Structure 1
Amino acid sequence: MTNSSITKVRFDSAEPGVSLVGDLYTPAVSRPDSAAFVIIGPMTFQKEQAPTQYARRLAAMGHTALAFDTRYRGESGGEPRAWENPFHKVADIISAAAFLRAQPGVNPDRLIGLGICQGSSEMLRAVAEDDTIKAGVTLAGQYRDHEGDIEWLTEEGYAARLAQGQAAKAKYEATGEIDYVPAVDETDMNVGMPGKFVWEWYHVWADKGLWDNRYAVMSDADLLPYESISAARMLTKPYLLIHSDNSFLPDAARRHFEAMPSTRKTLLWDGDTPHLSYYDQPEVLDRTASAIDAWVSQL
């Protein structure tokens, strides 16, 4: 392991006048086979959460890593706030990759996208569509296809959330008014990410004032129609997919892996590791970062 430095960086998004903010982790000593990672996290994430955990570890191993806030969250710009738009996230990944590629010491042929939870579905599409991102790694992914969405929300729940999101977006476009609900709640299911186990992890950040527990209802008009299975079918680059029996929607993860035509894909099935352990449990973070490092060293 080596020491690393952290630099606050700002770069342009695809939206005119809107900047993205990230933390750039640079190793004290770069390895001959070092890579550069652009990292995004779960639905409603801010960079200080899981992305920072992986950026620190990968930089300590000799790699460069960029953990950044996508539009509408954290330190990055964009309105309305707390708008969960996966199409914009894909564009932001590509903007971040362009910024990272231009940094001193970065080998553009070893630029890798890393996505966590729902960030996996957005990273998968960015890797498939952007030629400058040379390989992809996703872990504990929420991969998006119709079967997975219905398993996540049920047919009735999906239809209700989509209708509410479309109505809220129409209202915003007509009046500029934004409807919000909490991003998480212990008992209320009419929130961005329903479920007690999600609330138990996120509310700690909210209680400390480190994360905005807010979700724009109009998000569902963009989030729910998004899918990643078509991107998986396009994927010909090296790809490492890390998942477990207790990660979210394991069948969707398998469907996506099987759909990839790449002959350089690797599936690391991590037993029964709990989903949220990939966010903050040191032993799981260390093990996963080491697995990523070992895989990258073989590229």
Structure 2
Amino acid sequence: MTKTIRFVCRDHEVAADLRVPPNFSDAQKYPAIIIVHPGSSCKEQTAGIYGEKLAKNGFVTLAINASYQGESGGEPRNIEDPASRMEDIRSAIDYLQVQPFVDAEKIGAVGVCAGGGYVINVALTEKRLKAIGTCAAADVGSIYRGPDPAGTIALLENIAKQRTAEVKGAEPMIVPWHKNSDNKLRFVSMANMMAFDALNFVDTLLSQPIQIIIGDKPGAFGSMNLGRKLFELATASKEKDLLVIEGACHYDLYDDPKTTDIASAKLSDFFHKHL
């Protein structure tokens, strides 16, 4: 069963798809998992795939849609802001904390691609999350900074000029996320991502168990290398595991049935152990 719900985050509402396990009973309390989608995605796509698979394995799942995007509220539209994305997760935890069918001490989160980076970072200080998982986690900060510092500074200068132009009445500049996406990104919001670092303080503050899942093909956005680096850095984690799926690349962990089945089965075992 899938039900679209809404919860308050700051001054607007966030839309999310709530799924419950088979033979669900209001009289029981279930472990719950928040699912955080990639950049340029929405709750109906990758997050929905994992939400459905994990719900079938006994969890309440909540696939949230980023603020300012999709069915979620918030103005201006089409912005990507790491701080807001992490506040979405915190507000989702708030929502789950007061649901009578959720065990408030058994809440976890899974993030895919950029969503993985946000889940990692929010878990550093959000200890209501008792366990976390990542699939092809990516760091939007390093992606948008790129390998050329001079080019990054030039881009930030252009963002600054565009923001001033919009203050003076120019139309917002909307750019594509990347070549494989038809979704819209407000150009000036790219500045929000430039200083984000998903792995900062992981070695000291990430205390929860973590399941890291990557493919063995380099693929897009550096997720294979980031997963390995995360595994090495997570020295404060109570328990950590790295699953490398043979023959899989970054996008296979989005929606390839075989790959997502393997990943979901691993995540289910992990969360059953730690939630």
TM-score, structure 1 length as denominator?
A: 0.82
User: Aligned ranges for residues 56-67 of structure 1 at < 5 Å?
Assistant: 56-67=52-63
Q: CA deviation at 1:271?
A: 2.8
CA RMSD of aligned residues (A): 2.3
Residue 235 of structure 1 aligns with an amino acid whose one-letter code is: L
**Which of the numbers 17, 23, 29 marks the counterpart of 1:23?**
17
**Which of the numbers 240, 264, 269 marks the counterpart of 1:289?**
264
Alignment of 1:254 onto 2:225? no
The residue number in structure 2 matching 1:68 is 64
CA distance in 2, matches of 1:272, 1:158: 33
Q: Deviations over 1:230-253 (max 9, x none)?
A: 142320111111112324412232
Residue aligned with 2:229, SS: helix
Q: CA deviation at 1:292?
A: 0.3
CA distance in 2, matches of 1:83, 1:13: 15
**Which of the numbers 188, 198, 204 marks the counterpart of 1:218?**
188
Greater CA drift, 226-235 or 282-291: 226-235
Alignment of 1:162 onto 2:136? no
CA distance in 2, matches of 1:143, 1:239: 17
User: Aligned ranges for residues 134-283 of structure 1 at < 5 Å?
Assistant: 134-143=130-139, 152=146, 154-173=148-167, 175=169, 177-183=171-177, 193=178, 195=179, 199=180, 202=181, 206=182, 213-233=183-203, 234-246=205-217, 247=219, 248-249=221-222, 250-260=224-234, 261-283=236-258
CA distance in 1, matches of 2:226, 2:271: 24
CA spacing shift, 1:9–1:181, aligned 2, 3 Å = same
CA spacing shift, 1:66–1:76, aligned 2, 3 Å = same
Residue aligned with 1:39, SS: strand
The residue number in structure 2 matching 1:186 is none
Q: Deviations over 1:181-204 (max 9, x none)?
A: 223xxxxxxxxx2x4xxx1xx4xx
CA distance in 1, matches of 2:46, 2:170: 32
CA distance in 2, matches of 1:116, 1:170: 34
2:29–2:100 CA contact under 8 A, matched in 1: no
**Which of the numbers 18, 39, 43 marks the counterpart of 1:43?**
39
CA distance in 1, matches of 2:247, 2:137: 14
Aligned residues: 267
Greater CA drift, 226-235 or 278-287: 226-235
Q: CA deviation at 1:274?
A: 1.4
Residue aligned with 1:108, SS: strand
CA spacing shift, 1:178–1:97, aligned 2, 3 Å = same
Residue 65 of structure 1 aligns with an amino acid whose one-letter code is: T
1:124–1:231 CA contact under 8 A, matched in 2: no
Q: Deviations over 1:17-37 (max 9, x none)?
A: x11111100113359995211
CA distance in 2, matches of 1:294, 1:33: 19
CA distance in 2, matches of 1:243, 1:120: 11
Identity, in percent, stands at: 26
TM-score, structure 2 length as denominator?
A: 0.88
Q: CA deviation at 1:176?
A: 7.5
CA spacing shift, 1:35–1:171, aligned 2, 3 Å = farther
**Which of the numbers 82, 94, 98 marks the counterpart of 1:98?**
94
Residue aligned with 2:73, SS: coil
Q: Deviations over 1:82-125 (max 9, x none)?
A: 10111110011100111122222211121001100011111111
Q: CA deviation at 1:165?
A: 2.7
Residue aligned with 2:102, SS: coil
1:145–1:229 CA contact under 8 A, matched in 2: no
CA distance in 2, matches of 1:144, 1:98: 25
More strand by share: 2
Residue 82 of structure 1 aligns with an amino acid whose one-letter code is: N
